Amino acid sequence: MFNKYSVFVGTAAVFILFSAQAQVTTADFKPPEESSIPSGPKGIAIQEGRKLLTETHQRLPKNVGNGLTCANCHLTAGTTPNASPWVGIWGVFPEYRSRSGKINSLQERINDCFERSMNGKALVYNSVEMNNILAYMQWLSTDVPTGVSVKGRGFGPIDRKLTANVNHGKEVYASTCASCHGADGQGIKNPDGGYTFPPLWGKYSFNDGAGMARTMTAAAFVKHNMPLGKSVSLTDQEAIDVAEYFTHQARPVYAGKAKDWPKGDRPADARN
């Protein structure tokens, strides 16, 4: 039989349970094992989605206007922390984004990258390709609680109080980046038309509306991921300087960027 005491204890237990859940703000970064991909149509969709994201230029030529693949920024098919991973991304959308000034669906976020980073065209929302990409991202988010970000989401921290020195950035690029991305920033091509190392500027690179065209965003990526195999070898100042240099080289123009940050909170490093 219930009494006032048991009701109080039960209520307290529920309160403690929800309080504990509320304190969970980040989840550990743990991509699922390859063996967990199911058989059948769902498994095929997951594998096809991964191919679209790692061979984007080759598989979606009507939607990609440059020489990049999504995995050029989302390293190792979105499974590298601090390289804008897709692990856990499924459960945090829909999400408010200040750049658009509204709640975005995951499909909108994906298409934002196609139009900006890929300098191309949006996918149809209910297309086979979009659903395959979503299936892959959902699988990567296995066991990540809904509404919880994983540790290592985004590009990692960078000291935004530092002032960029573009002349020093040019020197850092020549000594650290040019061997892979070319002295002219045009990258190194594969025989299949893709890139072993992607172009950092020019008509085959991301446009000026992409997040990577912003100094601090690019600097955070560089700091935590470059040079490849020697990540976190540059100082924050060196990363910011080199990012200031390559982000401001000539690249395609995104006409829609004039509508970005409609709430008036445009970051200082956003391209005009």
How is the chain classified by DSSP, letter by letter?
---HHHHHHHHHHHHHHHHHHHT--EE---PPPGGGSPSHHHHHHHHHHHHHHHSHHHH-TTT--SS--GGGTSHHHHTSTTS---TTGGGG-SEEETTTTEEE-HHHHHHHHHHTTS-S-PPPTTSHHHHHHHHHHHHHTTTPPTT-EETT-TT----TTSPP-HHHHHHHIIIIIHHHH-TTS--EE-TTSSEEE--SSSTTS--TTSGGGSHHHHHHHHHHH-STTSTT-S-HHHHHHHHHHHHTS-----GGGGGS-TTS---TT---
pLDDT of residue 8: 39
Residues 145 and 185 in one domain: no
* pLDDT of 109 above 70: yes
Angle formed by the axes of helices 215-225 and 236-247, to 10°?
130
Q: What is the mean pLDDT of residues 15-20?
A: 36
Residues 123 and 39 in one domain: yes
Residues 145 and 170 in one domain: no
Residues 107 and 180 in one domain: no
Domain housing 222: 166-259
Residue 19 lies in a domain: no
Q: What is the pLDDT of residues 117-130, one digit of tens each?
A: 999 999 999 999 99
Residues 141 and 177 in one domain: no
Residues 96 and 53 in one domain: yes
* pLDDT of 7 above 80: no
Q: What is the mean pLDDT of residues 35-39?
A: 97
Residues 172 and 124 in one domain: no
Residue 268 lies in a domain: no
Q: Among 93, 117, 150, where does a domain finish?
A: 150
Q: Among 122, 150, 178, where does a domain finish?
A: 150
Residue 267 lies in a domain: no
Q: What is the pLDDT of residues 158-210, one digit of tens each?
A: 999 999 999 999 999 999 999 999 999 999 998 877 899 999 999 999 999 99
Place of tokens 């594969």: 190
CATH for 117? 1.10.760.10
Q: Provide the number of structural domains found in the chain.
A: 2
Question: Which of 121 and 26 is assigned the larger pLDDT?
Answer: 121
- Least confident range of 13-27, 69-83, 91-105, 233-247: 13-27
Buried b (16+ CB within 10 A) or exposed e, 36-51: ebeeeeeeebbbbbbe
Residues 40 and 140 in one domain: yes
Residues 142 and 40 in one domain: yes
Residue 67 lies in a domain: yes
Residues 196 and 247 in one domain: yes
Residues 37 and 117 in one domain: yes
